[in-house]
């Protein structure tokens, strides 16, 4: 809890007029915007707090796939659902409704602060000079992100240091992405690959694999999880050299092990070092 403190932007990363941003954590009242991380898919993975924010809201804004995932909770709500790449529109609509005095829930898949809607809403509020804490109360409710959902289905691949890289080059230049992969591979981080593929973007994964292979064994375990906790869930453990054999889509997340990650049956385990030290 930031408990009544004010801050301006994100440590200088955000430019714009000064906005008195106060956070609020006592549940939703009038003129409120709750940004709810709904988790990876199945409703049982949404936090009770996220669920209660949805129940209390009058207006629910979200990407249509996420609206469908939570449809049964949305009886008697005004629903504003938009398509992919409509993030700015969604954030704008949520802010408009909230500044007009509505109780709004903006839903975001997984956690809203991980390649999600939370940052965009804060940046837009600053850009529009909306006083959070005055014009609208804001609460960001965390959700289970896809990477922890996937890790738990694979076993325990994230027991040691890890880095997450999104392969989407829509907002980030490919050179930056490639360099981050290179650095993470060199640093022996377990590597989480978000957005590994889209309809128009299918070439990057093999380039990424080649970069990682410069630093890691071809037999390094790789977990490929699609639609975690959703209908059609798929879990595969492969190796760096063979990962290309598995189906990857827009609901897939990939976890590449570090130099000590091993496979045991269907499990992928990255040892933290307990047994070497204490047994
Ligand atoms: N905010 C989300 C990430 C959104 S980016 C989070 O906290 O996880 C969208 C990407 O997340 C997808 O392309 C995919 O790589 C991953 N993803 C989201 N839900 C997933 C799921 N249920 N199973 C596997 N990957 C998922």
Q: How confident is the model at residue 20 (pLDDT cuts 50, 70, 90)?
A: low
What's the confidence (pLDDT) of residue 273? 85
Within 6 A (CB) of ligand 1 lie: 40-41, 108-111, 114-116, 145-146, 150, 194-195, 225-230, 250-253
What's the confidence (pLDDT) of residue 84? 82
Q: How confident is the model at residue 174 (pLDDT cuts 50, 70, 90)?
A: very high
Beta strands in the chain (DSSP E): 32-37, 59-63, 78-82, 103-108, 137-141, 155-156, 162-166, 190-194, 221-226, 234-239, 252-256, 262-264, 267-269
Tokens of residue 7, six digits: 């801050």
Ligand 1 atom closest to the Cα of residue 227 is 23
Q: How confident is the model at residue 201 (pLDDT cuts 50, 70, 90)?
A: confident
If DSSP codes are grouped into helix, strand and coil, which group holds residue 194? strand
Indicate if the pLDDT at residue 26 is higher than 50: no
Indicate if the pLDDT at residue 16 is higher than 70: no
CATH number belonging to domain 18-144: 3.40.1010.10
Question: Best substitution site from 65, 68, 109 to test ligand 1's pocket, by max atoms within 8 Å of Cβ?
Answer: 109
Residue 26 CB-density burial (10 A; 0-12 exposed, 13-18 middle, 19+ buried):
exposed
For range 254-263, the mean pLDDT? 98
Burial of 198-233, coded b for 16+ CB within 10 Å and e otherwise, reads eeebeebbeebbebbeeebeeebbbbbbbbbbeeeb
Residue 6: partners with Cβ closer than 8 Å, 6 or more residues away: 20, 21, 22, 133
Ligand 1 atom closest to the Cα of residue 168 is 13
Domain residues of the chain, as ranges? 18-144, 147-269
What's the confidence (pLDDT) of residue 22? 52
What's the confidence (pLDDT) of residue 134? 87
What pTM, to 2 d.p., does this model score? 0.90
Domain 147-269 is of which CATH architecture? 2-Layer Sandwich (3.30)
The residues pairing with 141 across neighbouring beta strands, listed in sequence order, are 36
What's the confidence (pLDDT) of residue 27? 47
pLDDT in tens, 84-133: 889 999 999 999 999 999 999 999 999 999 999 999 999 999 999 999 98
């Amino acid at each position: 809890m930031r408990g009544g403190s004010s801050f301006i932007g994100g440590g200088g990363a955000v430019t714009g007029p000064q906005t008195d941003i106060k956070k609020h954590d006592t549940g939703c009242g009038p003129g409120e915007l709750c940004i709810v991380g709904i988790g990876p898919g199945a409703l049982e993975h949404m936090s009770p707090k996220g669920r209660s924010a949805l129940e209390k809201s009058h207006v629910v804004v979200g990407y249509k796939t996420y609206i469908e995932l939570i449809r049964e909770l949305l009886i008697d709500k005004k629903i504003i659902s938009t398509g992919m790449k409509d993030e700015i529109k969604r954030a704008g609509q949520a802010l408009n409704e909230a500044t007009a005095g509505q109780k709004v829930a903006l839903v975001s898949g997984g956690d809203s602060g991980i390649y999600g809607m939370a940052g965009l809403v804060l940046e837009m509020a600053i850009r529009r000079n909306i006083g959070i804490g005055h014009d609208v109360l804001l609460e960001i409710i965390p959700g289970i992100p896809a990477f922890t959902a996937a890790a738990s289905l694979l076993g325990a691949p994230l027991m040691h240091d890890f880095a997450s890289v999104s392969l989407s080059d829509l907002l980030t230049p490919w050179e930056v992405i490639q360099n981050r992969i290179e650095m993470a591979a060199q640093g022996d981080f377990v590597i989480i690959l978000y957005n590994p593929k889209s309809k128009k973007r299918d070439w990057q994964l093999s380039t990424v694999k080649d970069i990682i292979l410069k630093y890691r064994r071809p037999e390094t375990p790789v977990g490929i999880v699609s639609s975690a906790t959703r209908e059609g869930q798929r879990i595969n453990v492969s190796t760096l050299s063979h990962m290309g054999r598995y189906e990857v889509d827009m609901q897939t997340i990939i976890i590449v092990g570090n130099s000590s990650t091993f496979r045991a049956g269907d499990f992928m385990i990255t040892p933290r070092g307990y047994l070497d030290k204490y047994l």
